[in-house]
Amino acid sequence: MDLMEMFFISLGAAVVVYYGVKLLLFSRMLYPKGWFPLPESFFSYMGEWAVVTGASEGIGRAYAFALAEQGMNVVIMSRTKATLDQVAKEISDATGQRVKVVVTDFTKENVFSEIEDQLKDLNIGVLVNNVGMLPSIIPCKFLESTELDQTIIKVINCNVKTTVKMCKIILPGMENRGKGVIVHISSGVASIPCPMYSLYSASKVFVERFSQGLQAEYKDKGIIIQAVAPFGVSTRMAGFQQTNIVTLSPEDFVKSSLHHLRAGDKTYGSVCHTVLGWLLQSIPRKILYADCMLNISQDYVRKKQHRRYQPPHQVQLLKMEDTNNLE
C-alpha cells in the first residue's frame, strides 16, 4: 500500500468515525428519557422554590404545574393578577404546593428591584426564564412592525433584559448553595437568521448565547443552565394552533423538555422539534429566503390565524370574565 492510498483510507475512516459519533449523539436526543434520566427527587433537591416568568398561561403555566408536581413551591409571574390567582389556585389544589404570585410587566423599566425584594427570602432551586414577546404573529418586515420604537424597547426589555436580570437576582443564591437549574426559553427560529421575525429571532439568539456562555461559566458550581428552543407549541403566542405531531400542547412540550434537561446546554426540547431544527438547517438559505417562500409563510400564518381555537382553561377564564362583567 503506498502513502497516497494510506492517506485516503485514513481520511475515509476519519470521516466515517466523525459522522458516526455525530449520528450517535443525535440519536440520544431521540430517547432522552433513557439517555439522560433524572433521579426522582432531582428538582426538590435543587431547592424549595421554582420561579417561572410568564407563567399565567402557555408554556410558563405548564412549567409551573410540572415543577409543582415534582414537589416544588412555585413563584409565578406575569402582568395579569386575576389569571395568576386562578393558576395559583389550580396548582395548589392539584399539588398541595405553595404558590406565590408576582404581578409585573417585563416590558417596563425599573421592575427588578421590586422583584428582587419579593424573592429575597426564598431558597430558589429552579428558574425558568420563559417570558417572551413576539411583536406580531403574522410575519412582517422589520420596518413594517407597528409602533416600531415602542416595539423595539418592549422586545429588548421583555426577551433580553429580563433574561439577564432574573439570572442576576437568582444565580448568586444557586452559586452559594452549589446547585440549581436555569432554563431559558429560546425559540426554534433562533437556529438560523429568520427574516420576517428578525427582531424576535435575534432576541432569542441572545438568550441562547447568553445561556450557553453562562453554563460554561457555572457548570463546575453544580448549576445546570440550558437553552430550550421549541418550534410550535399551541399557546396564545402561536395563535392556539391545533396540536399535531409538530405543534405540541404546552403540557406535552414541557414534559418532554424536562426529559432533555441533562442533554446539553441547548435542546429543542422534543424529538419532533429536534428533527425540525435539523431539517431547517439543511435547507439551503437561498430557497428559504426567496421572496416567494417568505410570502407563502406569511399567507400560511395569516390563514392559520382564521382557524384559531380557545383551549379549555382559556374558555373557562373568558367565561369567568363574562360572569364578572354581568355582576
Ligand X SMILES: NC(=O)c1ccc[n+]([C@@H]2O[C@H](COP(=O)([O-])OP(=O)(O)OC[C@H]3O[C@@H](n4cnc5c(N)ncnc54)[C@H](OP(=O)(O)O)[C@@H]3O)[C@@H](O)[C@H]2O)c1
What is the residue-wise DSSP string for 40-71?
TTHHHHH-SEEEEES-SSHHHHHHHHHHHHTT
Other CB atoms within a 10 A radius of the CB of residue 217 amount to 13
Q: Is 309 a catalytic residue?
A: no
- 131 touches ligand X by CB under 6 A: yes
Distance (Å, whole) CA 287 – CA 279:
13
**Site residues (CB under 6 A) for ligand X, limited to 37-96:** 54-60, 78-80, 83
Which one of residues 22, 33, 168, 236 is an interface residue with ligand X (CB under 6 A)?
A: 236
Does the protein bind ligand X through residue 257 (CB under 6 A)?
A: no
Indicate whether 158 belongs to the interface with ligand X (CB under 6 A). Answer: yes
Least Å from the CB of residue 41 to ligand X = 27
The least CB distance from residue 249 to ligand X, in Å, is 10
Report d(CA 206, CA 159) in Å as an integer. Answer: 9
- Radius of gyration in angstroms for the set of CA atoms belonging to the chain, rounded to a whole number: 21
C-alpha cell of 306?
A: 382564521
User: Which residue in 63, 197, 200, 218 is the catalytic one?
Assistant: 200
Beta-ladder partners of 101: 76
| 8 A C-beta contact, residue 107 and residue 158 | yes
Spell out the residues 6+ positions from residue 80 whose beta carbon is closer than 8 angstroms to its own.
56, 103
Interface with ligand X, residue 267, by CB under 6 A: no
Of positions 70, 97, 130, 257, contacts ligand X by CB under 6 A: 130
Q: Closer to ligand X at the Cβ: 46 or 76?
A: 76
What are the backbone angles phi and psi of residue 182, rounded to the nearest 5°?
A: -125, 120
Question: Which CB atom, from 73 or from 78, has the smaller least distance to ligand X?
Answer: 78
User: If we measure between CA atoms, which residue out of 305, 246, 242 comes closest to residue 270?
Assistant: 246
Measure the CA–CA gap between 259 and 36, rounded to whole angstroms: 7
Residue 248 as a binder of ligand X (CB under 6 A): the answer is no
Query: Does 32 engage in binding with ligand X (CB under 6 A)?
Result: no
Among 73, 95, 97, 107, binds ligand X (CB under 6 A): 107
138, 140, 237, 288: residue in contact with ligand X (rule CB under 6 A): 237
In sequence order, which residues have a C-beta less than 8 Å from that of residue 237 and are 6 or more positions away? 58, 132, 133, 134, 137
For residue 60, the minimal CB distance to ligand X (Å) is 5
Residue with Cβ nearer ligand X (40 or 321):
321
Residue 232 is a binding residue for ligand X (CB under 6 A): yes
Residues annotated catalytic, as ranges = 200
Residues binding ligand X (CB under 6 A): 54-60, 78-80, 83, 104-107, 130-133, 158, 185, 187-188, 230, 232-233, 235-238
